[in-house]
């Protein structure tokens, strides 16, 4: 079952956030080889790709997490060189299976990171120190990878957290992701309840990124929105697209193949999204979809994220 099984999910999320809080306080701040597949039409194939756009000409394969807390995902699992070698291997598998869409590697860094305690400002999130962001940005740059900054707002706002990341988002190969699971209203705590993000918040992020592209003459930005329940993105049909921003709805639940495929169909195939993604969990997916399974999805995802 996907992460809708809340009692188990709450225990898992609470333990993850407890570890993350401890690590942040202390520090301050690839799949098995696939045979050649024959993918169907990608989710964004009907969209005219602006100059310099990553999609649909490529597929993004990303590692998600935070180096301060390895429990949060593949990105944080040491040592860094071994982690990046695994990611490059995964990228090679997808490119070999679908050479018409060469895969590009990306590191998806959680910042800010949702917290189970309020912190000094009462916003239940911790912004990563510039040194941490630059460390991961350096790994990405040195290995010709994209950088994606994944926002868990806690009780802050999308607008405020995106504003804080603008110096990094001005860089051509740095992109944005939003994690509605941790967008919490007053009275609810990250890891105890599932958060929700409305279309207005997402549209605000799209507008900010679009203006950033225009002002700095950048190629189109990616905006990834994670989702695994209907309520996680409210009024999703009101999301307003802009040619300067490529919006990816990423099916983000862990669980068995049947549940994941069902949710992917609901939130990507049947939802008329611009671009689609799927997140795969090395430890929680039982069994995990392999690359050939992923490429057999209809439509095959534009973005594949490993946690």
CA–CA gap between residue 228 and residue 250 (Å, rounded): 8
Domain ranges of the chain: 58-306
- 5 contact partners, CB below 8 Å, separation of at least 6: none
Within 10 Å of residue 37's Cβ, how many Cβ atoms? 17
Q: Where are the alpha helices (DSSP H) in 119-271?
A: 130-142, 158-169, 199-216, 257-264
Max avg pLDDT among 18-27, 74-83, 274-283: 274-283
- The CATH number given to 58-306 is 3.20.20
- Average pLDDT over the chain, rounded to whole? 87
Average pLDDT (211-233) is 97
For 114-152, what is each residue's pLDDT tens digit? 999 999 999 999 999 999 999 999 999 999 999 999 999
Identify the pLDDT of residue 22.
43
Helix (H) / strand (E) element for 148: namely strand 146-151
CA–CA gap between residue 134 and residue 154 (Å, rounded): 23
pLDDT tier, 17 (very low <50, low <70, confident <90, very high otherwise) = low
Identify the pLDDT of residue 15.
40
For 169-195, what is each residue's pLDDT tens digit? 999 999 999 999 999 998 999 989 999
Q: Among residues of the chain, what percentage have pLDDT more than 90?
A: 80
Q: pTM (2 decimals)? A: 0.87
pLDDT tier, 247 (very low <50, low <70, confident <90, very high otherwise) = very high
């Amino acid at each position: 079952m996907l992460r809708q099984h809340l009692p188990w999910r709450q225990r898992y999320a609470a333990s993850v956030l407890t570890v993350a809080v401890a690590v942040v306080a202390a520090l301050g701040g690839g799949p098995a080889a696939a045979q050649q597949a024959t993918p169907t039409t990608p989710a964004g194939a009907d969209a005219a790709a602006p100059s310099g756009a990553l999609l649909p000409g490529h597929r993004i394969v990303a590692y998600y997490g935070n180096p301060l807390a390895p429990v949060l995902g593949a990105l944080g699992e040491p040592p860094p060189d071994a982690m990046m070698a695994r990611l490059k291997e995964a990228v090679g598998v997808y490119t070999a299976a679908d050479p018409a869409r060469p895969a590009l590697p990306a590191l998806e860094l959680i910042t800010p990171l949702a917290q189970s305690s309020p912190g000094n400002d009462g916003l239940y999130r911790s912004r990563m120190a510039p040194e941490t962001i630059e460390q991961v940005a350096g790994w990405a740059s040195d290995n010709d990878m994209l950088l994606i900054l994944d926002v868990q707002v806690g009780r802050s706002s999308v607008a405020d957290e995106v504003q804080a990341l603008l110096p990094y988002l001005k860089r051509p190969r740095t992109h944005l992701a939003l994690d509605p699971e941790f967008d919490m209203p007053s009275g609810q705590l990250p890891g105890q309840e599932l958060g929700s993000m409305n279309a207005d918040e997402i549209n605000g992020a799209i507008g900010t990124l679009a203006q950033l592209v225009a002002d700095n003459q950048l190629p189109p930005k990616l905006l990834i929105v994670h989702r695994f329940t209907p309520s996680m993105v409210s009024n999703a049909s009101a999301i307003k697209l802009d040619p300067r921003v490529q919006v990816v709805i990423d099916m983000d639940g862990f669980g068995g193949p049947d549940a994941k495929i069902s949710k992917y169909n609901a939130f990507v195939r049947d939802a008329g999204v611009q671009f689609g993604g799927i997140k795969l969990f090395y430890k929680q997916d039982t069994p995990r979809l392999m690359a050939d399974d992923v490429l057999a999805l209809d439509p095959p995802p534009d973005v594949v994220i490993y946690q």
